Amino acid sequence: MSFDALPPIGLGTYRLTGDTARDTVKRALSLGYRHIDTAQAYNNEAEVGDGITSSGIPRREIFVTTKIWHDNLHPDRLVASLKESLQRLKTDHVDLTLIHWPSPDNEVPMADYLMALLRAQHEGLTDHIGLSNFTIAQMDEARQILGEHPILTNQIEVHPFLANRKLVDHAQTLGIQVTGYMPLAVGRVMENQALAELARKRNVSAAQLAIAWVVSRGVVPIPSSTRDEHLKANLDALTLQLTPEELNVIDRLDRGERLANPPFAPAWDQ
């Protein structure tokens, strides 16, 4: 199977390690997930690869994403580091490779690492290429550098408390799919009173409402969970249609609450 676009939901594996990572990936695939997201910096590519190979699901039916850490952005390192990722993942290619963060302080020029990423694609190491945590200006620069070569996605933080509207809208205008990480705001959506009230009325969970809201905006969510009932509920959220009133309530929860903001992050769009 050749994937032309991202599957509608993925399993995020940030913070999953050891047997938990192996088992969660395997169980998620058995429940119907077909998109697994990892990264060099998560230090779990080997365990994610174990989960995939032990699942019994043919590799060609699974969309696998990994990300290049900024230590490996230098053109001399990028392709070699991706080959190391493939060895850990026990596969000859990934479906998507992202630049995890723009090079801090532009230490490695964007043209250098994006052209190296393109080289990896030409070598068949990755089917698609994309970005993660890139600002509006950085997306524009990446588009200029890559020209006609498609950028499949920009993976950014998106949840009800950080709608990230300007960035989402700009990416979609450029024809770049948005992947939303931390769609449940690391569990904070389950503590919100407005979401709890809506969830009670609809007999669903606050997490399902948050995922359905992300999906309603044309964004692909990659929630993380280790429990079967939550993994399944997150999948089921894809079928949940929110009313205009419900969307409006969730829209109003945006408070610019950014949870992923390391010291090397770019100057975010407000």
Read off the CATH number of the domain in which 85 is found. 3.20.20.100
The model's confidence at residue 4, banded by pLDDT at 50, 70 and 90, is: confident
pLDDT digits (tens, 9 = 90+) for 87-96: 999 999 999 9
Q: Residue 258: its pLDDT value, please?
A: 97
Is 197 a member of any domain? no
| Pairing verdict, β 11-12 and 126-132 | unpaired
SS3 readout for 45-111: HHHHHHHHHCCCCCHHHCEEEEEECHHHCCHHHHHHHHHHHHHHHCCCCEEEEEECCCCHHHCCCHH
Domain count, the chain: 1
Is 30 a member of any domain? yes
Is 194 a member of any domain? no
Is 208 a member of any domain? no
Q: Residue 5: its pLDDT value, please?
A: 87
Q: Which residues does the annotation mark as catalytic?
A: 42
Is 100 annotated in a binding site? The answer is yes
Q: How far is Cα 193 from Cα 199, in angstroms, rounded to an integer?
A: 10
Q: How far is Cα 196 from Cα 186, in angstroms, rounded to an integer?
A: 16
Is 200 a member of any domain? no
The model's confidence at residue 124, banded by pLDDT at 50, 70 and 90, is: very high
Is 46 a member of any domain? yes
User: Edge to edge, what strands does the sheet with 63-68 contain?
Assistant: 11-12, 35-37, 63-68, 94-99, 126-132, 153-157, 177-181, 219-221
End-to-end CA distance of the chain: 39
In this predicted structure, which of 2-6, 61-65, 254-258 has the lowest mean pLDDT?
2-6
Domain extent, residue 18, equals 11-185+218-224
The model's confidence at residue 135, banded by pLDDT at 50, 70 and 90, is: very high
Mean pLDDT, all residues of the chain: 97
Is 76 a member of any domain? yes
* CA 194 to centroid of chain Cα atoms: 26
Output DSSP code: residue 213: H
Contacts of 196 (CB under 8 A, 6+ apart): 190, 206
Whether residue 1 is predicted with pLDDT greater than 80 in this model: the reply is no
pTM exceeds 0.85, yes or no:
yes
